[in-house]
Homo-oligomer: A and B are copies of this chain.
Amino acid sequence: MAEPVKLIGAVGSPFTHRAEAALRLKGVPYELVHEDLDNKSELLLRLNPLNKTVPVLLHGDRAICESLVIVQYVDEAFDGPPLLPTDPYDRATTARFWAHFMEHKCSMPFWMALWSGGERRKGFVEEARENLALLEEHLQVHGKRFLAGDAVGYPDLAGSYIPLMLDMFEELSGTSLMGDDEYPAMRRWVKEYNSDEAVKSCVTNKKQLAAYFRVKKDKYKMMVKAMLKQY
């Protein structure tokens, strides 16, 4: 009998979404264990002592931390549609390179543009737009529905914060990230991602994230302000 799978996460967490979407795409039955990020459980702190964050995947008694490490584990430990291409060159250049871009180049300016204010925000918005232009170019050249092919995969999950947060961006930040006629390939990708059945069926979906961030908006703005003052 298959070992039980539990995902310790928070419904407002884009990182939990990555792991949950991977489980759904792979067709793995799981239980979502809800974590209150303002009052972290002893279980979470015990399973993820280093970072003390969600998500944590529990496969039987084996705990795996770090959302993108979890996604790769889900891909390798379970049968189901592959989340990465099989050919090493495709794995490197479409899947891993673009996952790296989404996580380590695109992410910071995006979130900073969302939560910062005034002059500082302008710089982050500019940087976020440069990244969107690079993404647009890749999607246009690559000509597939998703970042590494015609099914949702690893780099899409890495960049899923964009499809999940884009509609809310103006409402939360008070500024616009792009005009309605800009970045058409990227808009299409966002639409495709949000239309995917496995993605839509997640508990950590677009609506849940919207509800969470509306409540937490001021808290995140304050956190970012304090962080920027430190430098």
Q: Which of A34-42, A70-78, A179-187 contacts B (4 or more CB under 8 A)?
A: A70-78
Chain B nearest CB, measured from A121 CB (Å): 13
Chain B residues near A96: list those with CB within 8 A.
Answer: 66, 69, 72
Q: Which of A25-33, A86-94, A157-165 contacts B (4 or more CB under 8 A)?
A: A86-94
* A69 B231 Cβ-Cβ under 8 A: no
Q: Tell whether A101 is near chain B: CB-to-CB under 8 Å.
A: yes
Q: How far is the CA of A134 from the CA of B105 in the complex (A)?
A: 26
Q: How far is the CA of A134 from the CA of B68 in the complex (A)?
A: 21
* A91 B66 Cβ-Cβ under 8 A: no
Q: SS class of chain A's interface: helix, strand, loop or mixed?
A: helix
Chain B residues near A73: list those with CB within 8 A.
Answer: 88-89, 91-92
* A64 B89 Cβ-Cβ under 8 A: yes
* B231 A66 Cβ-Cβ under 8 A: no
Q: Tell whether A62 is near chain B: CB-to-CB under 8 Å.
A: yes
Q: Which residue on chain B has the smallest CB distance to residue A92?
A: B73
Copies of this subunit:
2
Chain B residues near A231: list those with CB within 8 A.
Answer: 120, 228-229, 231
Q: Tell whether A2 is near chain B: CB-to-CB under 8 Å.
A: no
Chain B nearest CB, measured from A188 CB (Å): 21
Given contacts A73-B88, A73-B91, A89-B73, whether A97 and B62 have CB atoms under 8 Å apart is no
Which chain A residues (67-122) contact chain B, with CB distance < 8 Å?
Answer: 68-70, 72-73, 76-77, 88-89, 91-93, 96-97, 100-101, 104-105, 120
Chain B residues near A70: list those with CB within 8 A.
Answer: 92
* B66 A89 Cβ-Cβ under 8 A: no
Q: List 29 A-B contacts (CB under 8 A).
A: A50-B134, A59-B89, A62-B89, A62-B93, A63-B93, A64-B89, A64-B93, A64-B97, A65-B97, A66-B96, A66-B100, A68-B100, A69-B92, A69-B93, A69-B97, A69-B100, A70-B92, A72-B92, A72-B96, A73-B88, A73-B89, A73-B92, A76-B88, A76-B91, A76-B92, A77-B89, A104-B104, A120-B231, A231-B231
| Nearest 3 Cβ contacts at the A-B interface | A231-B231, A73-B92, A76-B88
Residues of A within 8 A of B (CB): 50-51, 59, 62-66, 68-70, 72-73, 76-77, 88-89, 91-93, 96-97, 100-101, 104-105, 120, 134, 228-229, 231
